[in-house]
Amino acid sequence: MNIKQVILQAFRDHPGEFISGEDLSQTCGCSRTAVWKHIEELRKDGYEVEAVRKSGYRLIVAPDRLSAAEIMAGLHTARIGQNVFAHDEVVSTQPLAHEAAAKGAPEGTLVLAEQQTGGRGRLGRPWHSPKGTGIWMSLIVRPAIPIPKTPQMTLLTAVTIARTIREETGVPVKIKWPNDIFCGDKKVCGVLTELNAESDRVNYLVIGIGLNANSVQSDFPEELSEIATSLRIESGDEVKRVDFIQQFCRNFEEEYDHFLQHGFQRVKQEWEKHSYSIGRWVSVQTISQMFEGRAVGLDDEGVLMVEDRAGIMHKVYSADVNYRANE
């Protein structure tokens, strides 16, 4: 951690309290003048810090800005979120994460932005990512798993986001196969997993997460107004995005470590428990065929099982799934 991060960590550990310049200089291992300079830098970054002679410094307001320092202060993980690239405006965080991964960025690296001008979903679809309203981020992981198992990482991510939403906001959400999180019948979050592999070895995955956190209705363009929602619209409360990201990192690391050691079973159970898809009538369009049936669950590998009218069970690995009125 750099000095700014250590100071932010100290403020987080003592909310609303004064911390003396002497204590801060000892914690940071630098002079009191250096502490003062870093406090000035924090002020330039939008932090309101009160300074009182003999009492020290106290944090009054932190800006709602996604900075590396904020995210890393107080983040108790071993890998996930321990390296953060935070941008103001980018075309998309996905190519930046690919570039960083190709240059050797460690597992757990997060690339995030306040705004994306060309955010993307699956199959080249656009992802609307206006300034300051959401969490637009890409996570680099390097799991030692066979390539056919990599779609399980999308399901693991969806399970982790759904859990974090419940913990941080209490909003009830469901997971729609394979990559969406829904509140009621509206999308609040999408996951885009991109793989870089060589012969039969995974080099890395870039997991893109687009979460509408604090969007209000007027932030959505007309074509999304009926199909998209945000956590703030659903709960009425503003989401503290830094807290959310930190909790996501902790949850992800815990679930991911369990997955690497013990396999997919726990993710499968939690996915099925919070599934939007199971029991629904769906039409499935794969590269080679189109059919309708009822989604009945996941198999042990995370493949969606769909039973058609004739009672034939289909395994859906990769497809566009549309939801029909239940028969």
Beta strands 174-176 and 134-141, pairing class: unpaired
CB of residue 117 to ligand BTX, shortest distance in Å: 10
* Binding status of residue 190 toward ligand BTX by CB under 6 A: yes
# residues near ligand BTX by CB under 6 A: 28
Which of these segments, 184-192, 193-201, 244-252, 255-263, binds ligand BTX (CB under 6 A)?
Answer: 184-192
What is the residue whose two structure tokens read 């012969």?
Answer: 199
Site string for ligand BTX, 48-87 (x = CB under 6 A): ----------------------------------------
CB of residue 118 to ligand BTX, shortest distance in Å: 7
Please give the Cα distance from 256 to 156 (Å, whole number).
7
* Binding status of residue 116 toward ligand BTX by CB under 6 A: yes
CB of residue 145 to ligand BTX, shortest distance in Å: 22
* Binding status of residue 125 toward ligand BTX by CB under 6 A: yes
Q: Is 250 annotated as a binding residue?
A: no
User: Pick from 21, 81, 119, 151: which binds ligand BTX (CB under 6 A)?
Assistant: 119
Nearest 5°: phi and psi at 56? 110, -145
Residue nearer to ligand BTX on the CB measure, 81 or 210:
210
Strand order of the β-sheet with 281-285 is 313-316, 304-307, 290-298, 281-285, 320-323
Please give the Cα distance from 300 to 165 (Å, whole number).
26
Whether residue 267 contacts residue 152, with contact meaning beta carbons closer than 8 Å, is answered with yes
Alpha helices (runs of H) in 192-284, residue ranges in sequence order: 231-235, 241-262, 265-273
Q: Is 187 annotated as a binding residue?
A: yes
CB of residue 111 to ligand BTX, shortest distance in Å: 8
* Binding status of residue 177 toward ligand BTX by CB under 6 A: no
CB of residue 239 to ligand BTX, shortest distance in Å: 14
* Binding status of residue 187 toward ligand BTX by CB under 6 A: yes
Q: Restricting to residues 138-167, which ones interact with ligand BTX according to CB under 6 A?
A: 138
- Dihedral, CA of residue 233, residue 237, residue 239 and residue 240, to nearest 10: 160
Sign of CA dihedral 171, 176, 181, 183: negative
Among 113, 62, 68, 108, smallest CA distance to 91 is for 113
CB of residue 288 to ligand BTX, shortest distance in Å: 21
User: Pick from 5, 67, 94, 214: which binds ligand BTX (CB under 6 A)?
Assistant: 94
| Number of other CB atoms surrounding residue 256 within 10 Å | 22
The widest CA-to-CA distance across the chain, in whole angstroms, is 80
* Residues at the contact surface with ligand BTX, assessed by CB under 6 A: 92-94, 116, 119-122, 125-129, 136-138, 179-180, 187, 190-192, 208-210, 212, 224, 228
